[in-house]
Amino acid sequence: MILKDYHEGLKKYILFYFSLYEVQFISLTNCSVIDKGKVLIFPLFLGVTSVFAVWHIFFQMASLDNIMDFTYNFNLSSAGFQTIITLLTILSSKTKFLTILEYLEDISTSNAEYFAEARENYLKNSISIAWHILRIFFIVSTVASIPVLVFGLYQTDFVSPLYYKLPGLSSNSTFYYPANIILQPIHYFLLMETIVATDLLIIIYLFYFRGEFYVINAVAELLTEKSILETNYERILLMIHKAHTTTLTNYSILYDVLWHFYCQKFFVVTLYLCASIFVFMKVTNSSIIGIILLAFVIAQLLLLCVPGQLIYNCSELLRNTLYSILWYEMKLKDQKDLLTMMITAERTIQPGTIAIGQISIITFVQVNIDLLGKFSGFAHTLA
């Protein structure tokens, strides 16, 4: 596959994401309330089913002795409400995403000298990774959901895959079993697929920017060769400056959304951590459930931190390349332009959010050190 093929596939995914969650497949009516309210269909469904999980914890559970029951519904409700907020944030920022998509369309189809060849190499490699991640994540999340639901069915004697029962529906009702058994898998699959789809949307955009930064770096490396400086360096420098400025401008648009996205994600991961700590405090004969929960938290943190680190690495590489350019062979005017680029390149290019700061692999290590400290403390207590 060539760059254009990968781009078309990812572009279709991005447009389908907004089409699906804005319910554009339902034709427009003459009622503006209905047309504008369609966007709330998925959030309302997730909200109602998340309330069912909360209701189960507070009113249907006789005790907290069943750890799986509690953790299922605690994490289910936490993930549900966080997904609603994230989904509404993404949909309200649709204009920003589509503006950036136009820019991504331009760089993916551009035939600009020097850049076209570099993009066919570096940008194609980066978005091909995003394409494979997209397919793998959807397959894994779908397949992994099946044993989770089957285990819940087994534990509840084939009544409710997610443990909760629909409020107000008596066990003597004809609809009791079919309503619980049909609705809850729909709830779980919709929640999981929405989480994965939204995460992948952000990851796709980040990998595009990662690839473009590597492209700019590859073209900038030409200016470290004296033979290039003796021929056409002014034009190359101008093209690099324009590409770098345009990339930073579009990344700034994305950063406004990333700030909210990472804030919401880290908040819900903290709630997952609270659930795992509760398991360690409650279970006195086995800590395997808590270990599984901690592993899940670590996997979530890795997914959050790695893309930020990748963006930082490529921007750092570009910064170093700019310092390696043979500036002393240039005219004074071009030296000033290069200096401007070097100052701009000093800006940190990676996601960040409140209380956490810049998101990188260092964030992942710091949080995991804290997790291991808590794990050791609870393990010592249980011993």
**How many Å apart are CA 291 and CA 303, to the nearest integer?**
18
Confidence of residue 367 (pLDDT cuts 50, 70, 90): low
Over the stretch 265-285, which tens digit does the pLDDT of each residue have?
877 877 777 666 666 566 544
Q: Which two tokens stand for residue 109?
A: 């189809």
How crowded is the C-beta side of 166, counted as CA atoms within 13 Å? 17
**How many Å apart are CA 289 and CA 161, to the nearest integer?**
18
Q: Which two tokens stand for residue 14?
A: 């991005």
**Domain range summary for the chain, segments of one domain joined by +:** 3-382
**How many Å apart are CA 102 and CA 239, to the nearest integer?**
19
**How many Å apart are CA 24 and CA 41, to the nearest integer?**
11
Confidence of residue 293 (pLDDT cuts 50, 70, 90): low
Mean pLDDT of 69-73: 83
- 276: closest CA among 360, 177, 375? 375
SS3 assignment, position 349 = coil
Range with lowest mean pLDDT among 44-53, 155-164, 259-268: 259-268
Query: Which amino acid type is present at position 296?
Result: F
Mean pLDDT of 162-190: 91
Over the stretch 108-117, which tens digit does the pLDDT of each residue have?
999 988 899 9
Confidence of residue 304 (pLDDT cuts 50, 70, 90): confident
pLDDT score of 286: 46
Greater pLDDT, 189 or 286 = 189
Ordered DSSP codes for 162-223: TS---TT--TTSTTHHHHHHHHHHHHHHHHHHHHHHHHHHHHHHHHHHHHHHHHHHHHHGGG
- Is the pLDDT confidence value at 230 over 50? yes
In sequence order, the β-bridge partners of residue 353 are 357
Q: Which two tokens stand for residue 73?
A: 């519904």
